[in-house]
Amino acid sequence: MSDTEDPIKPWGGRFNETTDAFVERFTASIEFDKRLYHHDIDGSIAHARMLHKTGILDSDEEQQIIDGLESIRADIAANKFQWSVALEDVHMNIEAALTERIGATGKKLHTGRSRNDQIATDIRLYVRDEIDEMATSLTDLQSALLGLAEREADTIMPGFTHLQTAQPVTFGHHLMAWFEMLDRDYSRLIDCRKRVNLSPLGAAALAGTGFPIDREYTASLLGFDMPTGNSLDSVSDRDFAIELAAFASLLMTHLSRFSEELVLWTSAQFDFVELPDRFCTGSSIMPQKKNPDVPELVRGKTGRIYGHLISLLTLMKSQPLAYNKDNQEDKEPLFDMIDTVKDCLKAYIELLPAIVAKKDNMYQAALKGYATATDLADYLVNKGLPFRDAHEVVGTAVAAAIEKNQALTDFSLAELQAFSALVTEDVFEILALEGSVAARNHIGGTAPNQVRAAIEIAKKNLAHR
Ligand code: ARG
């Protein structure tokens, strides 16, 4: 060891100068990767147990290492651990502390592994835990939606295309559309978990190790389904993080769409729903304001999740095999992404059950905009008129109603018969909103009994998760 060498660095042996202070700060990841300490210690304990099983450590050494790591874990949890930037990352901070605490045995822990398979293992363990938490939250959010949809299965509102009144639907039906989006998110998340839950431990730096390791044993100790394959791929693969970011991006797209609708619906112009005061804020200048900040922020935070997806994709696109220091840049996007998604899910889990539908306003809005014009056309088709002709007749009737600034139901029977002789007294049932929604009585339709059937199926599916 030369006297200019920084003695603290575990890799200091081949260096003749101390690290430049800026470079030390620039290359360190400890500020953000320290949050992986639990997973790092779990991985190290599994590795130590394996080293004992294969005869590399004796049982006394194994026990000293495990006890040392547990005491470090306790100190970190109690905020009593001194992190050092000079020790670069979570792995070297913990390893150095171990040797400080238990002496030379601590130096044996790194036998047959590298920080490259260590970090790959840590992130997978961390991501797996977070996936499980997000899966539970998604299920809670979906249950909240089912509760609300059940309550609103008969509530009539206008359905929109192009944000123009199209046909009446039920609010329960609209909420079940949200449910379906989240259902796909859930299945993407669970599918991603399969590719996360593999153990890279034992791939070592890139080529594997000459020590007699037992990769299946460490994999099973850590709850992984099995070891990863090819060692080069094992240390360099971050596909699972990108997949998670793709899941998160789509989930946020959905939450952002919900948010957009809530923002529109709480405006004076729509006035369809009321959000609880505790989820809104006021204006410092306009006393009447109640702003839907929480949905707006969820919508706003979507952008940074997309950003993280692009960051991670770009991070990987030019990396030659195997591990490169670039990979250290995967952590901040990943952490922020997971923290943000969890907050947004939490916001929605609490917000949704507290939404109050203003049923009367929804109903009045559905009466406007000729929402049952299609029903009238279908009615004429059922009486034998070809659909295109029926469309034409109803178009003329709607134009006449617009001209008179009235609803289709304001026409008398005789006036409607002037548009088509096929019209009879029963037309008024067809033009009613209730008749319109009840008529869409098939799988996936808006009829209240179909909405209830969809809710029942969804409840069963959630119960089987
Ligand atoms: N801090 C590094 C990372 O986050 C750990 C692995 C470092 N390996 C290395 N050979 N420099 O990726």
Q: How far is the CA of 383 from the centre of ligand 1 (A)?
A: 74
How would you label 256-277 residue by residue, b for 16+ Cβ within 10 Å and e otherwise? bebbebbbbbbeeebebbbbee
Dist. CA 203–CA 215, nearest whole Å: 9
Please tell me the distance from the alpha carbon of residue 309 to that of residue 235, in angstroms, as a whole number: 20
Instruction: State pLDDT tens for residues 268-281.
Output: 999 999 998 888 88
Q: Say if residue 4's pLDDT is above 70.
A: no
- Residue holding tokens 């400080």? 100
Q: What is the per-residue pLDDT for 6?
A: 52
Nearest CA to ligand 1 atom 11: 325
Compute the radius of gyration of the chain from its Cα atoms. Answer: 31
- If you average pLDDT over residues 355-372, what whole number do you get? 95
pLDDT band at 13 (very low <50, low <70, confident <90, very high): confident
Mean predicted confidence (pLDDT) in 70-89: 98
Contact 327 CB / ligand 1 (< 6 Å): yes
Q: What length does the chain have?
A: 465
- 1-15, 199-213, 258-272: least confident range: 1-15
Whether residue 2 is predicted with pLDDT greater than 50 in this model: the reply is: no
Report the chain's mean pLDDT, rounded to a whole number: 96
Q: Quick one: pLDDT band at residue 425, thresholds 50, 70, 90?
A: very high
Distance 118 CA to ligand 1 centre (A): 9
Does pLDDT of 208 surpass 80? yes
Q: Please provide the DSSP assignment of 310-373 as one string.
A: HHHHHHHTTPPSS--GGGGGGHHHHHHHHHHHHHHHHHHHHHGGG-EE-HHHHHHHHHTTTTTH
For residue 104, give the DSSP letter.
G
Kindly report, residue by residue over 244-296, the tens digit of the pLDDT: 999 999 999 999 999 999 999 999 999 999 998 888 888 787 888 789 999 99
89 lines ligand 1 (CB under 6 A): yes
CB of 29 shorter than 6 A to ligand 1: yes
93 lines ligand 1 (CB under 6 A): no
Distance CA 53, CA 67 (A): 17
User: How much is the pLDDT for 10?
Assistant: 82
Pair 149, 172: CB distance under 8 Å: yes
CB 232 within 8 A of CB 321: yes
Neighbours of 11 (CB within 10 A): 9
Residue-wise over 389-421: b if at least 16 C-beta within 10 A, else e?
A: ebbbbbeebbeebeeeeeebeebeeeebeebbe
Domains and CATH numbers, the chain: 12-111 (1.10.275.10), 116-363 (1.20.200.10), 366-463 (1.10.40.30)
Answer yes or no: is pLDDT of 430 > 60. yes
The predicted pLDDT at position 188 comes to 98
Question: Amino acid identity of 200?
Answer: P
